[in-house]
Copies of this chain bind each other. A is one copy, B any other.
Amino acid sequence: MSQPTVPPTRQQTPEQVRAFFDAHRTVRQYQNAPMPTEHLDTILHAAQRAPTDATAQLYSFVRLTGETKALVAELSTNAHIASAAESFVICMDTRRVRQVIEVAGYAPGLSPAIDIHFGIGDAVLAGQNMLIAAEMLGYQGCWIGGVMNNLSAIVELLHLPEGVLPFAALTIGLSAEDTPYRPRLPRPLVIHENGYQDGSPAELRAATTQMNPIAARPGKDGDWARLLSIYFGIGGSMEQRETVLREALKQQGLWAGE
């Protein structure tokens, strides 16, 4: 059985792999330097090599330049979309696959819940491939959920038709900031074996203490549970985004409800 030649980038030691992922930072301040065409070409190539559901490639990226880049920065209230070397709106796209089917003379089916499930999956697989390729080249980036802040205006600005919905924006550039290594949850709360196990209140409290530094600001200790409650608590930003997202799902023909 012959095997293709294994490139050296696939013969790393565990220490090298850890060093790679430990060097990841979410970076919002970028050096004012455009990305060379060869690098842009490489990260887009990496995006397209991502695994995909059912060979279908259920995603589209909208690369932002010029005035549109500035407008999406404003609409999403994330100024670094304008200042990053490269900025994209990463979309699920279950439109193109149906066009391919129709052009070949078949009748497309209807499966909005599945479309969202695998569409978001494919969009994130391709986007994370692109970010990791950029990180291999020495860049850093930032996934931006803030496209939800003005979703329908962004959909309109980018002429996103039925079957296409932004998942998030993604910015990439050379870092101009010093970002600390950020904590993560204790592994036993995240990785289960053979069956899901809830954390006990004591374990959840210990996890919160471990996570607190991620909510710290200069001169102010972190309170992770409070930060999460601002996002996921009653009346929090996720409940506000819920209304916006439901409207967009209906508008884009991706609503599975009655």
Which of A's residues lie within 8 Å of B, judged by CB?
A: 1-4, 6-12, 14, 16-24, 26, 38-39, 41-51, 53-57, 59-66, 68-69, 91, 94-101, 103-104, 106-118, 120-121, 124-125, 128-129, 131-133, 135-138, 142-143, 145, 148, 157-161, 164, 167-168, 175-178, 182, 184-185, 187, 189-199, 201, 204-205, 207-208, 211, 214-215, 224-229, 231-236, 238-239, 241-242, 245-246, 249, 255-258
Inter-chain contact B108/A48, CB cutoff 8 Å? no
Jot down 15 A-B pairs with beta carbons below 8 A, ordered by A.
A10-B135, A10-B137, A14-B42, A14-B137, A17-B133, A17-B136, A20-B136, A47-B191, A53-B143, A55-B211, A99-B198, A100-B224, A107-B233, A113-B246, A257-B258
User: What separation, in Å, do the CA atoms of A176 and B120 have in the docked complex?
Assistant: 30
**Copies in the assembly, this chain:** 2
User: What separation, in Å, do the CA atoms of A114 and B246 have in the docked complex?
Assistant: 9
User: What separation, in Å, do the CA atoms of A135 and B188 have in the docked complex?
Assistant: 24
Q: For A114, what are the chain B residues with a Cβ–Cβ distance below 8 Å? A: 148, 238, 241-242, 245
Q: For A59, what are the chain B residues with a Cβ–Cβ distance below 8 Å? A: 190
Q: For A167, what are the chain B residues with a Cβ–Cβ distance below 8 Å? A: 117, 121
Residue of B nearest to A89 (CB): B192
Q: For A158, what are the chain B residues with a Cβ–Cβ distance below 8 Å? A: 192, 194-196
Partner of A64 from B17, B148, B194, B204 at Cβ < 8 Å: B194
Inter-chain contact B194/A65, CB cutoff 8 Å? yes
Q: For A256, what are the chain B residues with a Cβ–Cβ distance below 8 Å? A: 242, 246, 249, 256-257
Contacts A107-B234, A114-B148 given; 18 further ones with Cβ under 8 A?
A: A1-B176, A9-B19, A14-B137, A17-B136, A44-B191, A48-B190, A50-B128, A57-B185, A64-B194, A99-B198, A100-B225, A109-B239, A110-B242, A113-B245, A117-B167, A118-B145, A159-B195, A256-B257
Query: A12 with B137: in contact, given A110-B239, A145-B118, A201-B103 (CB under 8 Å)?
Result: yes
Q: For A249, what are the chain B residues with a Cβ–Cβ distance below 8 Å? A: 113, 256
Residue of B nearest to A145 (CB): B53
Q: For A228, what are the chain B residues with a Cβ–Cβ distance below 8 Å? A: 54-56, 97, 100-101, 106
Partner of A109 from B91, B187, B235 at Cβ < 8 Å: B235
Partner of A60 from B2, B49, B190, B257 at Cβ < 8 Å: B190
Q: For A233, what are the chain B residues with a Cβ–Cβ distance below 8 Å? A: 101, 106-109
Q: For A195, what are the chain B residues with a Cβ–Cβ distance below 8 Å? A: 62, 68, 157-159
